[in-house]
Structure 1
């Protein structure tokens, strides 16, 4: 029951944010290809120029997210027992670097997943069920300043061939920091 409520809450947050544009992070260097963008727009918040997304690490003035692993999980496989589609799961550590409230759920505010398999439109992936029960109780914890908490997230795949791009950004997608592609095979 708790897992269902957490999934519903995460999906609700994702839907609310989808109208504001997405955000994303990067993955392991061995399985991922990354690129970064430098914005020429003036920064309105001190420290924004120090934000980066490189080699599986998103760093902003408020937080740091390090993707530690990823895996494709088939329908029915442990971590995707309740899903109707295969998912790509990402395990990560998130650190509170500033004075703002940060929780493991901040991942979805800073990272968006896409599969470029539609020639006419962006294909933003939906958040799936929590792929690792170890984080069921801790995924909404408030992280203390300089504290680090581990968590995981999954995205429902639309096909099992097209790589998944994680796009990192700040300001709810207004300032793209870069992207990393993850091969599914």
Structure 2
């Protein structure tokens, strides 16, 4: 197996490991960030502001329409999609056909952003199970040109390209992309892609 094939095969586990690290940081408590240094104790007393009663990001600020996910921090614009059969370029090593998406991702706010932010903001569903939501698994990277760049940090205002693929469970049921900006807790919208 060559170096390129090895990188493609390792792209998915690396992506999942990054996701696990980010999610593990979500559980930290506010108490961990309290400054208990002597200089903090001598500072002027200020009354705490009341807790906000509205969400930090309102639905009007974040949308997923016509293949474009817009949030205060990130913009993701889908530029192309296609189904790739097993053994074809972009799915040489998979055992299932995949649906692949190419996209541009822009760092709007300056917060830490990489092309892999897609995985925390968009999931793919193929509604072919009468009893449960069938979320599709991420497949191998479908485009070799992004092997080295898929984890690069994006500067504020910068835009880079990337691609992602999902393993299909059948070749007829449409795939829905469902977007959120809070790791799937609040749906911002969904777009359906027919496979034929």
In structure 2, the residue matched to 1:52 is 63
Is the contact made by 2:59 and 2:188 (CA closer than 8 Å) also made in structure 1? no
Query: Which segment drifts farther, 46-55 or 121-130?
Result: 46-55
In structure 2, the residue matched to 1:27 is none
Query: Of the candidates 62, 68, 72, which is equivalent to residue 61 of structure 1?
Result: 72
SS at match of 2:190: strand
Distance 2:140 2:164 in 1: 8
Query: Which segment drifts farther, 3-12 or 68-77?
Result: 3-12
In structure 1, the residue matched to 2:41 is none
Whether 2:37 is the aligned partner of 1:2: answer no
More helix, by proportion: 2
Distance 2:166 2:189 in 1: 19
Aligned residue pair count: 162
TM-score, structure 2 length as denominator? 0.78
By how many angstroms is 1:149 displaced? 0.2
By how many angstroms is 1:46 displaced? 4.8
Whether 2:173 is the aligned partner of 1:162: answer yes
The structure having more radius of gyration, on CA atoms, is 2
Distance 2:62 2:181 in 1: 8
Distance 2:20 2:133 in 1: 16
Distance 1:16 1:161 in 2: 35
Q: Decide whether aligned partners of structure 1 residues 172 and 162 sit closer, same or farther in structure 2, where only a CA change above 3 A counts.
A: same
In structure 1, the residue matched to 2:124 is 113
In structure 1, the residue matched to 2:144 is 133
SS at match of 1:114: strand
Distance 1:120 1:15 in 2: 27
More strand, by proportion: 1
Query: Of the candidates 94, 100, 119, which is equivalent to residue 83 of structure 1?
Result: 94
1:99-134: per-residue Cα shift (whole Å, max 9, x none)?
Answer: 210100000110000000000000000000000000
Is the contact made by 2:76 and 2:106 (CA closer than 8 Å) also made in structure 1? yes
Distance 1:165 1:184 in 2: 11
Q: Which runs of 5+ in 1 are unaligned?
A: 19-41
Is the contact made by 2:105 and 2:115 (CA closer than 8 Å) also made in structure 1? yes
By how many angstroms is 1:3 displaced? 2.2
Query: Which segment drifts farther, 112-121 or 8-17?
Result: 8-17
By how many angstroms is 1:7 displaced? 1.8
Q: Which runs of 5+ in 2 are unaligned?
A: 1-5, 24-52
Q: Decide whether aligned partners of structure 1 residues 43 and 157 sit closer, same or farther in structure 2, where only a CA change above 3 A counts.
A: farther
RMSD: 1.9
